[in-house]
């Protein structure tokens, strides 16, 4: 009669018939599936896939949204905003009071940023699943739906500064994917990658002097 590693006498020579421990010299237990294989079997992408660039434009990943094309890495299913009969729009302009506040806070480039002598309002319709806010990239094929390239051009606006996301009830949320100078909604600084709801009358401040006002009107 064999003795298991726990000291029990066992009539079986593979596993102890008292405590179930493997007997010395018995058959080795089945090897666990590799982590990547197990993850794939569960429906998740292998770890190495997450390290790849954007599947749309191949830009290296730096956050939830691609900084060039705005691709959402979360993999959320497309959201179709409900038809409400209303036309949402974003109106851009220059805000002198905000500019003076930004300059007063200082910064390495504050002295070089001037308030534009003339900045006409521009209106952008909010349509589709997402509306990117930023500036066109001169070296990459990136063109945001709300293009703040100018003239005049606000140098504090990132190429992909913020993204408006359509919701199923017809409303919108705003997320800052990690802009260089941050985004404010009604004076409150956004936390990176944390969506916040926006509604008619809300004022979004980006860059050194740009204000974007959300409006709701008839089609």
Domain 87-217 has CATH 2.60.200.20: yes
Are 176 and 183 spatial neighbours (Cβ–Cβ below 8 Å)? yes
Q: Where are the domains of the chain?
A: 87-217
For the full predicted model, state whether its pTM sits above 0.75.
no
> Tell me, what's the pLDDT at 32?
38
> Tell me, what's the pLDDT at 43?
44
> Tell me, what's the pLDDT at 9?
72
Burial (0-12, 13-18, 19+ Cβ within 10 Å), 187: exposed
Are 156 and 182 spatial neighbours (Cβ–Cβ below 8 Å)? no
> Tell me, what's the pLDDT at 49?
39
Is 50 strand, coil or helix?
helix
- The 10s digit of each residue's pLDDT in 59-115 is 677 776 765 556 666 655 444 444 444 589 999 999 999 999 999 988 767 888 999
Number of neighbours of residue 145 by Cβ within 10 angstroms? 18
Which residues in the chain land under pLDDT 50?
Answer: 26-50, 77-85
Are 130 and 171 spatial neighbours (Cβ–Cβ below 8 Å)? no
Is 135 strand, coil or helix?
coil
């Amino acid at each position: 009669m064999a003795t298991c590693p726990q000291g029990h006498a066992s009539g079986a020579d593979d596993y102890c018939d008292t405590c179930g421990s493997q007997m010395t010299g018995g058959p080795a237990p089945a090897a666990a599936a590799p982590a990547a294989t197990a993850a794939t079997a569960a429906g998740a992408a292998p770890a190495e896939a997450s390290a790849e660039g954007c599947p749309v434009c191949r830009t290296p990943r730096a956050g939830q949204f691609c900084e060039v094309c705005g691709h959402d890495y979360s993999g959320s299913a497309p959201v179709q905003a409900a038809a409400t009969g209303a036309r949402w729009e974003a109106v851009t302009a220059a805000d002198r009071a905000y500019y003076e506040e930004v300059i007063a806070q200082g910064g390495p480039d504050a002295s070089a940023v001037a308030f534009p002598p003339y900045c006409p309002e521009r209106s952008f319709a909010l349509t589709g699943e997402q509306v990117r806010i930023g500036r066109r990239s001169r070296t990459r094929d990136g063109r945001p739906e709300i293009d703040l390239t100018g003239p005049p051009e606000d140098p504090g606006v990132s190429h992909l500064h913020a993204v408006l996301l359509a919701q199923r009830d017809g409303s919108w949320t705003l997320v800052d994917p990690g802009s260089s100078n941050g985004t404010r909604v009604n004076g409150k600084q956004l936390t990176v990658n944390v969506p916040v709801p926006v509604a008619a009358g809300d004022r979004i401040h980006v860059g050194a002097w740009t204000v974007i006002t959300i409006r709701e009107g008839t089609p």
